[in-house]
Amino acid sequence: MENKLTRADKILIGFLLIIGLSEVANLVAIVLHKPFSAGIRLFIAACVILMIAVIFLPAKETHRIALTGQGKIVHLAFIALFLLQLLYILQGKNVYDGGDLTVETVNTMLTTDTIYQINPLTGQAFAQGMPMRLKIISLPMLYAFLCRVIPLESYFIIQQLVPAIVLALAYFAYSALAEALFAEDTWKQSVFLLCVAILISFGDYMYGMEGFGVLHAGYRGATIRMAVIVPYLFSLLIRRNRIGIVLCILAEACIVWTFYGMGACVLITFFYVACGRIWRKLSERRKGHG
């Protein structure tokens, strides 16, 4: 399969790299016992280098067949539904924050200039500390950076603005998957995206469902994994883009607690490759018998 970088690929790979850079900054600050502001400076420097590298990176564009007639109507319907979901998220009336302390953690970083030395729930110093498996999660560092540069309340940025960005990223991921599944057929790609949008809209009935995560808890690592990284991973597996697959596995380890880095992406990749090999062997045997 061809491995041309599309617009969706650039955006998603850029997102995965940003997660990686925030992780590096987070780990350096924790291991070297540096203040939060030092971690942010390192993150900004790394992002600047990344942006410069991206500008000079050669990129190829796929030739997109323009939508006509019915395809345009489908695409417009998708855009309308996306905007409605965006409005729903930005209103912030239905945020689910049970069992999560991201906002408190970010606020603690911003006000005390420390990383995981102060209990975010009380603002007092830890007596025994936090588990290392949680300290390595880099999303609070990334969100704290956003709160530092955007002059809005941190709970608005984290629980409403970030989920809006995650919603857009989710549709880029599904767009990449659509192109991998229905290459060159833009009508099917549009219909696929519209179906995804409808399924997300009606699928918010239980915590743990993709629709619930995207519409009510888009800032959580588990939601970003489920709605952005996993669909994008499948598009990369179909296209056999190994570098992208590795980036997905590493990004997941940075934003969700996994068992020593072994998360959903590792298992998906393993079973996907295994299923492919078994399927090809069975096909060859059938052809041989035929």
Q: How far is the CB of 32 from another protein (least distance, A)?
A: 22
CA-to-CA dists, residue 195 to 86, 171, 175, 202, angstroms: 17, 11, 12, 11
**Residue 223 CB-density burial (10 A; 0-12 exposed, 13-18 middle, 19+ buried):** buried
Q: How far is the CB of 97 from another protein (least distance, A)?
A: 7
Q: How far is the CB of 124 from another protein (least distance, A)?
A: 6
**Which of residues 46 and 241 has its CB atom nearest to another protein in the complex?**
241
Gap between the Cα atoms of 116 and 235, Å rounded? 36
* Residue 259 per-residue DSSP state: B
Q: How far is the CB of 219 from another protein (least distance, A)?
A: 12
**Which of residues 59 and 94 has its CB atom nearest to another protein in the complex?**
94
**Which of residues 20 and 120 has its CB atom nearest to another protein in the complex?**
120
In sequence order, what are the residues at sequence separation of 6 or more whose Cβ sits closer than 8 angstroms to the Cβ of residue 96? Answer: 207, 212, 216, 217
**Which of residues 60 and 202 has its CB atom nearest to another protein in the complex?**
202
Three-state secondary structure call for residue 64: coil
Gap between the Cα atoms of 181 and 175, Å rounded? 10
* Residue 264 per-residue DSSP state: H
Q: How far is the CB of 67 from another protein (least distance, A)?
A: 14
Gap between the Cα atoms of 167 and 164, Å rounded? 5
**Which of residues 50 and 77 has its CB atom nearest to another protein in the complex?**
77
* Residue 260 per-residue DSSP state: T
